[in-house]
């Protein structure tokens, strides 16, 4: 159950970040943020 919730949260975060990124035309920054967040979560 915990893993499923994490996956759902990640998908929601990705969707939100992508929407923000497209609106601001900062796709690279958004992708970098996603990568950093994923790395941090894996370490924890």
Task: For residue range 1-43, list pLDDT tens digits in order.
Answer: 577 888 888 888 888 877 776 666 566 777 777 778 777 666 5
pLDDT at 9: 85
Residue 35 sits at φ, ψ, to 5 deg, of -60, -45
Number of domains in the chain: 1
Classify residue 26 by its DSSP letter.
-
Residue 26 belongs to what domain range?
2-43
pLDDT at 17: 77
Sole residue written with tokens 């950093």: 36
Q: List CB contacts of 23: < 8 A, sequence separation 6 or more.
A: none
């Amino acid at each position: 159950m915990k893993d499923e919730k994490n996956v759902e949260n990640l998908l929601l975060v990705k969707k939100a970040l992508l929407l923000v990124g497209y609106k601001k035309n900062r796709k690279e920054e958004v992708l970098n943020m996603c990568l950093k967040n994923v790395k941090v979560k894996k370490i924890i």
